[in-house]
Amino acid sequence: MQRCSIKTSRFGVLEVEESRIIHFPEGLLGFPEQRRYIILEHKPDSPFCWLQSMDSPDLAFVMASPLLIKEDYLESLPEKEKPFFHSESEDDIAVFSLVTIPQGDVEKMTINLTGPLVIDVGAKTGKQVILSESGYDHRHPFLEQP
């Protein structure tokens, strides 16, 4: 198996099997040149994971499933936006949303429900989809508000 290594600012040196790399042909919004990423576990049983760029060692995003916030996230999408989330096998698709955690203020953490990352697990490809008609917010509160 082919392996490569990357020295990251958050995780140190990572030895990665090439087969774990997910290709985003269009990059992510604001990062069009960053096209190769791996997903790293945050902690066991954590709702969070990391999307670490293989092209830029200092670039990593916190992610979580939007289904943790809105159980009907995929069902409530407008019909024209649903095709992005389907493949031959539903198990081949993973959906994540980027999480923003303001420094020193975890209570104000938000999740981007407008721009989810849709990953074809089998093909190891991904796309950030912009749900312009969903009614979702790109800064939806992650934690329940009192």
Distance, in Å, from the CA atom of 106 to the CA atom of 119, rounded to the nearest integer, reads 27
pLDDT score recorded for residue 12: 95
Distance, in Å, from the CA atom of 89 to the CA atom of 120, rounded to the nearest integer, reads 10
CATH architecture of 3-141: Roll (2.30)
- Cβ within 8 Å of residue 89, ≥6 positions away: 122
> Could you read off the pLDDT of 125-143 as tens digits, one per residue?
999 998 888 889 999 999 8
Q: Where are the domains of the chain?
A: 3-141
> Could you read off the pLDDT of 104-120 as tens digits, one per residue?
899 999 999 999 999 98
Judge whether residue 82 has pLDDT over 90: no
Considering only residues 87 and 36, tell me which one the structure prediction assigns the higher pLDDT: 36
121, two tokens: 């697990």
Q: Over the chain, what is the mean pLDDT? A: 90
Q: What is the 3-state secondary structure (H, E, C) of the chain?
A: CCEEEEEECCCEEEEEEHHHCEECCCCECCECCCCEEEEEECCCCCCEEEEEECCCCCCEEEEECHHHCCCCCCCCCCHHHHHHHCCCCHHHEEEEEEEECCCCCHHHCEECCCCCEEEECCCCEEEECCCCCCCCCCCEECCCCC
